[in-house]
Amino acid sequence: MLDVETEQIEFHELVGRRLGFHAPGAATDRYCTGRMAFRADGPPRYVPCPGQERAVVSGQCATCADKDSFRFVHTVHRSGFVSRDLKKHVMQPHWLYLAAFANGTFKIGTAADTRKWGRLAEQGAICARYVAHADDGKAVRVAEDLVTESMGLRQAVRSTAKAASLCLPIDVDRLEAATAARAEQVREMLTEAGIAGCTPIDERWAPPAGREALSENISRVAYPADVATGSHGLEIRTCVGQAVIATVDGETYVADLAALKGRRIELGAFTSDLPAVQSALF
């Protein structure tokens, strides 16, 4: 979270704790989330929006979006041009991964060497395999595009779809086996393609602690209120990417906290006033 008065980033533990907050105004009242400034002589630095402007494009104001050089990272393998600021990030080793989500959907993606584990945790993957190691960000994105073109594997999955799938029972062991089988197909294709600077590998991603709770035979339903507005009080059991599995008055819910991006909230001893809901049928 960004403190709007001090402009300092604050980190809050969620798992095993209570999250109480109030989001005033309408759910559409969103503010710019700032940008990451990449530097040739050091690690990336977070830069808050100078004027705390309203968000207009992908969670940013027009000014911050224009200054955000990271948007060019996704096209460096096509343009061939890497700016001086982005060169350190792009030219470090990268990983190509295959991620599986709760509904059985697969996604192919990339992670810089410094973000190898955390990228998948943020994505909300249930199971994942690293299928290739690349010399740099150019080679890994060539491989990513080839997998998409050849095998039809998508490169993005909406957060709302990820959260919704957590409401259904999940056989984690079965999904792990399916992920391993699909990853083997990806590696075989990459081996035949012989992409320069990209080496197929077989490495399992170790998920965060608490992921085993997804296999428990308990009823989970979508949180029946908009977390982006009003007051809420959630007892957090586990986090899966931007979604959380939480309890309110003994009932278990799945809430997509991605809806809070750009919203201003006040932390405190707030509670949820929820209507009765019916468990998902399966």
pLDDT in tens, 159-182: 999 999 999 888 899 999 999 999
Tell me phi and psi for residue 146, to 5 degrees.
-65, -40
Closest by CA to 49, choosing from 23, 70, 31, is 31
**Residue ranges of domains in the chain:** 1-30+218-282, 32-91, 92-213
Please provide the average confidence, as pLDDT, over all residues in the chain.
91
Q: What angle do CA 219, 206, 109 make, to 5 degrees?
A: 95
Q: How far is residue 78 from each of residues 115, 135, 142, 217, measured CA to CA in Å?
A: 23, 16, 8, 47
- How confident is the model over 88-129, as pLDDT tens digits? 888 899 999 999 999 999 999 999 999 999 999 999 999 999
| The token pair that represents 209 in the structure block | 């602690």
Across the strands, what pairs with 94?
112, 134
Residue 254 tokens read as 């799945």
CA distances (Å), 61 to each of 5, 165, 178, 194, 244, in order?
19, 31, 41, 42, 28
pLDDT reading at 210 higher than 90: no
Helix (H, G, I), strand (E, B) or coil at 30: coil
Contact indicator for 44, 89 with CB cutoff of 8 Å: yes
Confidence of residue 278 (pLDDT cuts 50, 70, 90): low
Helix, strand, coil share (%) of the chain residues, nearest 5: 30, 30, 40
